[in-house]
Homo-oligomer: A and B are copies of this chain.
Amino acid sequence: MYRSHSCGELRASHVTQEVTLAGWVQKSRDKGFMIWVDLRDRYGITQLIFDEERTPTNVFETAKTLGREFVIQVKGEVIEREAKNSKIPTGDIEILVKELTVLNASLLPPFTIEDETDGGEDIRMKYRYLDIRRNPVKDSLMFRHKVTMEVRKYLSDQEFIEVETPYLIKSTPEGARDFVVPSRMNEGQFYALPQSPQTFKQLLMVGGMDKYFQIVKCFRDEDLRADRQPEFTQIDCEMAFVEQEDILNIFEGLTRHLLKEIKGIDVEKFPRMTFDHAMKTYGNDKPDIRFGMEFGELNEVAQHKDFKVFNAAELVVGIAVPGAASYTRKQIDKLIDWVKRPQVGALGMVYVKCNEDGTFKSSVDKFYDQEDLAKWAEATGAKAGDLICVLSGNTNKVRAQLSALRMEMAERLNLRNPAEFAPLWVVDFPLLELDEETGHYHAMHHPFTSPKPGQLEMLGTNPGDVKANAYDLVLNGNEIGGGSIRIHDKEMQAVMFKHLGFTEEEAKAQFGFLMDAFQYGAPPHGGLAFGLDRLVAILGGQETIRDFIAFPKNNSGRDVMIDAPAPIDDEQLKELSIKLDL
């Protein structure tokens, strides 16, 4: 062992002990007759002192040559510091160095290894191994480990079994794009990497393994948006002989356990909300309920006056922004510009200032009197001092726009407290979703989701109205998990595939094995999957996932550190019976 102690553990009680430490030179201060070095490892920082009088000359001379990020080993005595540093746990002591070995030198790193680094995203990704030395990244990775340990402990204690499902599976054109893997031994054929272990976990239920989980990598070849990764990690779970209520309880228990063990926070029973209610009240199926600004629908009180914009709208809806009545004309104009940005897409915004004296001042005073506006205030829950912001238009679009505004205002007003955790179940999702481009319905969750009892018949007549036993777990405005009760009946699964536009042949070719399995005693079952990367980030109080992934890829799906993907040898291509087609 190159060390007797870590750089984080020595205290005043160790004074006079001879110790050996190893680590990286964080920084060095050379006062001529005295040199101080901050030695860093994963566990902390310990100050070393080299002293012209007390340190052997050759050691002192070597100490002068130490640069940032040199890897060294020192032996010496723990002594009490003259000037204590209360900011670090080892701040009471320092090491009077007697022996020094340079284990490895270092070039000057391309960015500083500090909490606040001077390195930009690109350079940090290229030298990710240096970035990981920085506390924010290192701590995030250690935090992730702690979360997964707790997840496994909790589920294992509940008799869940972690089962590894295969990574080399079969491509199914439905859903997102698969990554595929040419098979050398089966010429012209391909494996696919799993988008999720969905069918395998269902087969495990058919196999009687009635409580399954797996922390598992999944793969989607999608055009990457910011904060999406082509490979991502799921906490994948499935249970048999359960109803929706059982699943919600188990995974509410898991989430509560994590909040308690990881964050020390006790959360009461999680509130539940239907999808319809969430859309109506927050314009969003993953509302952040740490703050209010609930939607007030204004059709009844705002239409059938002379304001044509509202009269022509499918939905008129507003929120009361707390304390924003004091906004200047200029501030409000900027807000109107904000909602008109293409990313939001509103055509305009009507506002009402709720004055402290109980009067109202609106941008539509021409059409609405004080009594009208009082009704708006009532519908949006506005109090004196608030600013009511009203949008109108097509229901789906205007809800999305107002939801964006609500989140933006919460951000500006610091209502999104990262130390507060507000979980929420959103339930009763629609079974199907209309693809506006093709006019076809596709599965909102996935094609294995069961419709609510008695609603199967509506598939033919009102497909958009059919609700599913599907649910999402939302935390602080982020979907951290989602799942459903599955179909376990071959006939019902066949009907579902048909409604999703599969021919019988296609359904058989892609999912025949699952439908076959349903014929041999498939139990009722359902499950849920958490997105681990996001769950960990949110528990860590962050909105972006990248620092919680050791080696993330960039938005082109590239690993810029190892420079992958990359061309491969012609011989490799030949062995795989494929050629490039550029």
Name A residues whose Cβ lies closer than 8 Å to a Cβ of B: 1-3, 22, 24, 40-42, 69-71, 73, 103-107, 109, 127-133, 138, 141-142, 144-145, 148-149, 152, 156, 161-171, 173, 177-193, 199-200, 203-204, 206-211, 217, 219, 221, 223-224, 230-231, 233, 241-243, 246, 488-489, 513, 517-524, 549-551, 553, 556-559, 561-569, 572-582
Contact = CB atoms under 8 A, between A and B. Distances in A.
B109 A520 contact: yes
Contact of A181 (B181, B233, B577): B181
Residue among A70, A513, A521, A580 with the highest chain B CB neighbour number at 10 A: A521
Contacts of A582: 187-188, 577
Interface of A is mostly: loop
A246 B170 CA distance: 43
Contacts of A141: 161, 163, 209
Given A1-B242, A190-B568, A203-B129, A156 B166 contact: no
Contacts of A518: 104
Given A104-B522, A168-B230, A208 B581 contact: no
A569 B106 contact: no
24 contacts: A1-B242, A2-B524, A42-B209, A106-B519, A107-B520, A128-B203, A129-B203, A132-B207, A164-B217, A166-B231, A167-B217, A167-B219, A168-B179, A168-B230, A168-B231, A171-B568, A173-B569, A182-B182, A183-B565, A184-B221, A188-B567, A189-B565, A200-B550, A574-B581
Nearest to A221: B184
Interface centre among A106, A569, A576 (most CB of B within 10 A): A576
Given A233-B164, A521-B106, A578 B578 contact: yes
A207 to B, nearest CB: 3
Contacts of A184: 177, 221
Contacts of A103: 523-524
A550 B212 CA distance: 12
A564 to B, nearest CB: 4
B191 A565 contact: yes
A105 to B, nearest CB: 7
A70 B551 contact: no
Contacts of A550: 163-166, 200, 204
Contacts of A242: 1-2
A180 B179 contact: no
Given A106-B519, A519-B106, A520-B106, A208 B133 contact: yes
Contacts of A192: 564, 568
A288 B518 CA distance: 45
Contacts of A149: 152, 156, 162
Given A162-B148, A169-B562, A513-B562, A520 B127 contact: yes
A329 B261 CA distance: 71
A569 B69 CA distance: 51
Contacts of A230: 168
A166 to B, nearest CB: 5
B142 A161 contact: yes
Nearest to A215: B164
A186 B559 contact: no
A236 to B, nearest CB: 13
- Which of A107, A161, A233, A567 has most B Cβ within 10 Å? A161
A565 B180 CA distance: 10
A106 B520 CA distance: 4
Nearest to A580: B188
Contacts of A182: 180, 182, 578
Contacts of A145: 156, 161-163
A577 to B, nearest CB: 5
Contacts of A206: 129-130
Nearest to A108: B520
Contact of A566 (B129, B171, B185, B221): B171
Given A105-B521, A168-B553, A184-B221, 6 more contacts: A132-B207, A171-B572, A185-B221, A188-B567, A190-B568, A203-B551
Given A3-B241, A559-B169, A572-B171, A520 B208 contact: no
A507 B199 CA distance: 42
A581 B573 contact: yes
A523 B561 CA distance: 19
